[in-house]
Amino acid sequence: MDGVESRAQVIVVGATNRLDIIDSALLRPGRFDRLIHVPTPDKATRQNIFEINIAKMQASEDAKSAAPSLGEESEGMSGAEIALVCREAGLLALSFENNIEQKEANSIFVEASHLKQALQDVKARGK
């Protein structure tokens, strides 16, 4: 940046999913050596991200088989947003249990319906 001494040992890395709101002065030549655009994942990659996240959860068989349709329905979402969908589905599964204290933890499963509801909720937040 202007007026800042050169320090060979310092590397600045920045990331945003909202390049449109970054001040153009920050993007002028000489500010950053490289600007790297990382596109959102394609359908197969989104499906794979769902599969990886669902595998880490206590999920029903219908939730495990929902990854292809979720990959289709999550067009334009980043990997972080997909991971958020899976975490939200886990919270939905817990909240649907009326009395968690009386239930065994291993009897609570994330269902496909939780994933689909969480997908809609996360999409609604991004609008």
Greater confidence (33 vs 66) lies with: 66
Greater confidence (100 vs 24) lies with: 24
Determine the pLDDT at residue 38. Answer: 85
pLDDT band at 103 (very low <50, low <70, confident <90, very high): low
104 assigned to some structural domain: yes
Domain that holds residue 77: 43-125
Residue 98 sits in a domain of what CATH number? 1.10.8.60
Q: Kindly report the pTM of this predicted structure.
A: 0.75
Number of domains in the chain: 1
Residue 75 to residue 70: CA distance in whole angstroms: 9
Residue 40 to residue 77: CA distance in whole angstroms: 6
Tokens linked to 89 = 């589905």
13 assigned to some structural domain: no
What is the CA 13 to chain-centroid distance, rounded?
A: 20
Residue 127 to residue 125: CA distance in whole angstroms: 6
90 assigned to some structural domain: yes
Greater confidence (18 vs 98) lies with: 18
Determine the pLDDT at residue 100. Answer: 55
